[in-house]
Amino acid sequence: MDVIARLLVCLFLIGVPTLASRADEPRFSGNTIADATLKRDALRMIGMIVHGKFKCDALDLIEAEGIPADAQPHVWLPPGAGPATYERWIVTACSHKQPFLVVFWPAKEGGMMFQVKAEKVADS
């Protein structure tokens, strides 16, 4: 990642509200490869999307599930990205359920990178 992109990500994360304590974290069920830090970072991004879409600041429940290789959607990853892990996180917030595609891949510098995308919800 170039210097400007890193700076923009840092500025973005500085302006994002953080979860004050474990008590403020939503209930999480299911399986994910994300450790506590990566999960918190992904939830921060999801929280911003939920706020913009539903004007809601309370993530109540996250239900995570892996996506099998034959069902993984095409997602742009940076050149040279390692093998990616695809998960669907179904987020319940303010009586709304919103599925998110969450993709993780190893960063060249160490650690993990991720991207989050709200998926379309079928009309009921």
pLDDT digits (tens, 9 = 90+) for 48-72: 999 999 999 999 999 999 999 999 9
Pick from 12-16, 99-103, 116-120: least confident: 12-16
Q: Model-level pTM?
A: 0.78
Please determine, for residue 3, whether its predicted confidence score (pLDDT) is greater than 90. no
Query: 80, 108 in Cβ contact below 8 A?
Result: yes
Q: Write down the mean pLDDT value for the chain.
A: 85
pLDDT score for 96: 95
- A 10 A CB-CB count for 113 gives 18
Sequence-distant (≥ 6) Cβ neighbours of residue 73 within 8 angstroms: 86, 101
